[in-house]
Amino acid sequence: MSPLETVAHPDKQSLAADSADRALTVLAEAQDERGEATVVLTGGTMGIAVLAALAASPRRDEVDWSRVNVWWSDERFVAGDSPERNCRQAEQAVGGALSLHPDRVHYMGSADDFASVDEAAQDYVRELGAAARAQGRTAGFPRFDLALLGLGPDGHVASLFPGRPHVHVQEATVLGVRDSPKPPPERVTMTLPMINGAERVWFLVAGADKADAVAAVRSAAPLDGTPGAGVRGTEETLLLATEDALGAS
């Protein structure tokens, strides 16, 4: 697992632009190496802002978007057309500017598709497993070149919240969450071991309200109180954060 590195930015705009630029480089290099690239997306203000910056970047055509595989680290278990869905917010941010292949975009199931959040989680496990087998992998999930994550003021990542048993699951899998302290209460989420299977994991964090959580992550605080402290990519772990989120005045 890689050490945590911090990259400071003066404001949200520069954070989004720099993160998008870095992501374009990672995805282009992955395609040069293997012919395809894979990214795990997140919701939240900064995650969506980075997607908008990707779509607006003059470098966006350096990546063949039809050969980019897209997964989500978590999703709200609500109706498929709900604006609360991370995937719907992502689609709005991109606005059709990236020519993604529909077969390569892997949505987590909605409440329209499945009777329970657990069924939606198991369906995603099956989909991840099928993609892994197609790559000849036995890990249960495909190769993730890059995973983007937010960080809540309470230290949560994806839908892994402090004090919840999901944080301590040792298996790289996908779980149903029924008691999220943030609405909506039902969600689908990857576990920490699956997120940590990504080669590069980047936190995208802005705002003074995140300063305590950022400090806890940087000090490797106990996992039960700060799930984000347990995040590490296999090759790189970056904390891309605004100065106020880092506690700078």
Is residue 247 domain-resident? no
Q: What is the mean pLDDT of residues 94-110?
A: 95
Q: Would you say how long the chain is, in residues?
A: 249
| Pair 232, 5: CB distance under 8 Å | no
Q: What is the mean pLDDT of the chain?
A: 96
Provide the whole-model pTM: 0.96
pLDDT in tens, 173-185: 999 999 999 999 9
CATH number where 193 lies: 3.40.50.1360
**If pLDDT is split at 50, 70 and 90, which confidence band does 37 have?**
very high
Percentage with pLDDT > 70 across the chain: 99
How many domains, the chain?
1
**If pLDDT is split at 50, 70 and 90, which confidence band does 34 have?**
very high
Is residue 248 domain-resident? no
Beta bridge partners of 38: 69
pLDDT at 41: 97
Helix 44-56 with 86-94: angle, nearest 10 deg: 30
pLDDT at 1: 81
Is residue 58 domain-resident? yes
pLDDT in tens, 38-74: 999 999 999 999 999 999 999 999 999 999 999 999 9
Kindly tell me if the per-residue pLDDT of 5 is higher than 90.
yes
Q: What is the mean pLDDT of residues 220-239?
A: 97
pLDDT at 69: 98
pLDDT at 92: 93
Torsion of CA 38, 44, 49, 54, to 10 degrees: 10
Burial class (CB in 10 A: 0-12, 13-18, 19+), 126: exposed
Measured in whole angstroms, how far is the alpha carbon of residue 151 from the centre of its chain? 10
pLDDT in tens, 156-173: 999 999 999 999 999 999
Q: What is the mean pLDDT of residues 111-122?
A: 98
pLDDT at 96: 87
Q: Is the peptide bond before 184 cis (omega within 30 degrees of 0)?
A: yes
Kindly tell me if the per-residue pLDDT of 122 is higher than 80.
yes
For residue 67, give its domain range. 4-242
Is residue 249 domain-resident? no
